Amino acid sequence: MNKQRNDGALSPARGFLPDSWRRLFSIANQLRYGLVFLVLLSLLPAGELLIHLSFQAQLQQSRLLQKERSLAAAGQVDNYLDDLKRKLSYLARVKGLTNFQPQAQQSLLEGLTRHNDAYEAVAIVNRNGQIVTSVSSDVPLKLENIATSPLFIRVFKQQEDYVSPVEIDPQTQQLTTILAVPIRNEQDEVDGVLLARVNLNFLWFIVSQTNIGKSGYVYIVDERNFLIAEKGSQPETFQLQDLSDRPFFQTLVESTNSAQLNVYQGLRQVEVLGASTFVRSVNWHVVVEQPTSEAYAPVYQLLSVMGGALVFVTIATVGVGFLFIRQIIIPLQRLTTAAIALSAGQLETRVQVHSQNELGTLATAFNHMAVQLEGSIEAVEVERNFVAAILETAGALVVVLDPQGQIVRFNRACEQITHYSFSEVNGCYIWDLFLNADSTEQAKAKFESFQAGNFPQQYEGSWITKEGQIRFISWSDTALLDEQGSVEYIVKTGIDITERKQAEEELIASEQRLSLLFHQTSLAVMEWNLDYKIVSWNLAAEKIFGYTADEMIGHNAVKFLVPEPLQTEVDQIMRNLQKQNRWRV
């Protein structure tokens, strides 16, 4: 019975959620999933932000590296051309150069060509556009209609330095350009033009020495958007290419000064990370391009390393967290299992937790409580068995009803009186079995109006046995209340007074007969108490002694009826009667 009561107490909590949901929302799972969630919530956003920032920083570093490479290559080109122009300008500042003797001019021009092999040919042109002196290393300088050419007009008439478009020399098949500066006479007036045909082979040296990783390359585009040099090509076989119609080039040129990364299909039709630097002295562009697969390789490597580190740290953190949580979960599971077993009636259950923390204290307190509970329940069981034994063996009738009048307990005395077994009456309404038709409606109405204040009650009533016999019972009803103060059970305790009722009826009949004899007999009958005061006096006594009942009742019979000499003897007789109950005189 105790186990059933415990199971019933647990059933609402167990039935609140299915077992699968209860396991999912257990404290152990909440700790596990909560730890994973907190780790992911703390590490992943921070890791992702760090990876993102590192990724952007690495991309920016790649862009800066590309820009630095293009700046370095452009600086070399600019420095080389500036050196050529500077030497040319230095010679052009010699006053009266056009008036020197041809031999002197020849010597000066030869000295200029010896300073740099890039000077293929150097010439002095007079104010009429005629070459007056020229020096060449291999192929003589041949210029037609120089007086009407842009070179002569811009240098002589507009007094500007001039760099001609890059051309392929038809004789040497080499890329060349012409540098031209104005020269002055002794009056410091522009009196001619000093020009030099420059071999651009030095561009290949610059682009070949520019390191752009394993597969990157650099190339140079002039002001006409013609490709004039490219790493990996040979100057002897190189052909000028017009890049104006290439979609990437215009965008690349426009974003030369932009901080944005340039990713596009490059010169070699491969996606590249490119950077361009403008060589202002000659209006050229030096472009550096590196395939993104190589340029982003450090970025991807960084991402993989940081991602792997993040995963490792996350796993390590979760693992360490699980180890700590395990120190909490296992004692909790043991405590939970022990609590369930204890509630199921396994009173010998104990918890084995040796932690030196609150859980260990809780386990010790639990074991102590279990010991006390086991002792208390054993005492309750002994008392319950004792009470049950009393109820079963006592002669009193004990019936337990619910508030609707249904029988829930029926002791052995009830079974013996009514000849019904408990199994026959269990769950039945009391008035359907033991009350007659006149008492049924009254009993039903009484149960409907039951309140805690109506108890206890004492009354007498009749019961009908299984064989139809009527037994008279003296009842004492009390109520057992629930936690809300409402009637939960009604306990009826009764004593069978059938024999007493019969005896009372017989006694009444006897008294009636005795009263008849008392009043009709011819014998004088008188009754007095221990104080000799008369309490009854019949008609015959009135006739014999002459005193009426009103005159005698309440007075001392000895003084009225016994002569004084005999009063002492009568008093002795009365004392003997009181001692021996019987005395005949």
Say what the pLDDT of residue 223 is.
87
Give the pLDDT confidence score for residue 1 in this predicted structure.
41
CATH placement of domain 394-502: 3.30.450.20
Is residue 39 scored above 50 in pLDDT? yes
386 burial via Cβ count (<10 Å: 0-12, 13-18, 19+): exposed
Spatial strand order of the sheet with 284-291 comes to 241-242, 226-230, 217-221, 284-291, 271-279, 262-265
CA distances from 109 to 79, 82, 99, 356 (A): 22, 18, 14, 100
DSSP-derived secondary structure letter, 141:
P
Residue 493's beta-bridge partner residues?
A: 398, 476
Instruction: Give me the phi and psi of 24, to 5 degrees please.
Output: -65, -40
End-to-end CA distance of the chain: 69
Asked whether residue 578 carries a pLDDT value surpassing 80, the answer given is no
Residue type, 572: Q
Specify the residue for token string 């059938």. 498
Say whether 521-580 and 60-295 share the same fold. yes
Please identify which residue in the block is written with the tokens 């522009």.
190
Looking at every residue in the chain, the average pLDDT score rounds to: 80
18-30 confidence digits (pLDDT tens) = 666 666 666 667 7
Establish whether the linkage from the previous residue to 403 is cis, with ω within 30° of 0. Answer: no
- Contact between 63 and 273 (Cβ < 8 Å): yes
pLDDT at residue 388, rounded to an integer = 67
Q: Tens digits of per-residue pLDDT, 57-90?
A: 777 787 788 888 888 998 999 898 888 888 888 8
In sequence order, what are the residues at sequence separation of 6 or more whose Cβ sits closer than 8 angstroms to the Cβ of residue 151? 162, 164, 178, 180, 193, 195
Task: Answer whether 525's CB lies under 8 Å from 514's CB.
Answer: no
pLDDT of 415 > 80? The answer is yes
Does a cis peptide bond (omega within 30 degrees of 0) precede residue 456? yes
What topology is assigned to 521-580 in CATH? Answer: Beta-Lactamase (3.30.450)
The pLDDT assigned to 543 comes to 86
Q: Does residue 4 have a pLDDT over 50?
A: no
Domain boundaries, the chain: 2-41+317-384, 60-295, 394-502, 521-580
3-state DSSP percent of the chain in helix, strand and coil, to 5 = 50, 20, 25
> How much of the chain, in percent, has pLDDT values that exceed 90?
3
Angle between helices 27-92 and 297-343 in degrees, nearest 10: 170
**How do residues 429-487 score in pLDDT, each as one tens digit?**
888 888 877 778 777 777 776 665 667 778 888 888 888 888 888 888 888 888 887 88
As its CATH architecture, domain 60-295 has 2-Layer Sandwich (3.30)
- Backbone angles phi and psi of 3, in degrees to 5: -65, -40
